Amino acid sequence: MTLATRAEALFVSTLQPSDHPSRHQVQAAILLSRRTHGGVIGCAIDFAAEYGEHPEASVDRMRWALGLVAAASAGVGHRTAVAA
């Protein structure tokens, strides 16, 4: 999966910025999200629908998701790499 597809899966997950998730929690949320939303395509569809309904909130959530996914991919703790 690409960075963008992992971020879309995290975006549609139940994980919240206020949870201050660990790298392992981010990875688990992505896997669960892929299962519950019908894979990569289902996550993309649900992401697009949410973005269309709430573009103002979606920008911040996607920025958060991209930052966490990038930090998790690099093996960096999110608290030092991303401001939630």
* pLDDT values of the chain reduced to their tens digit, one per residue, 84 residues: 899 999 999 999 999 999 999 999 999 999 999 999 999 999 999 999 999 999 999 999 999 999 999 998 877 654 434 443
In a domain, 17, yes or no: no
Asked, for residue 57, whether it belongs to a domain, the answer is yes
Residue 30 within a domain: yes
pLDDT value for 77: 56
pLDDT of residue 82: 43
Domains held by the chain: number: 1
Q: What angle do CA 44, 13, 20 make, to 5 degrees?
A: 130
**In degrees rounded to 5, what are phi and psi of residue 71?**
-65, -40
Query: What is the pLDDT at residue 84?
Result: 38
Give the structural domain span for 62.
3-12+22-81
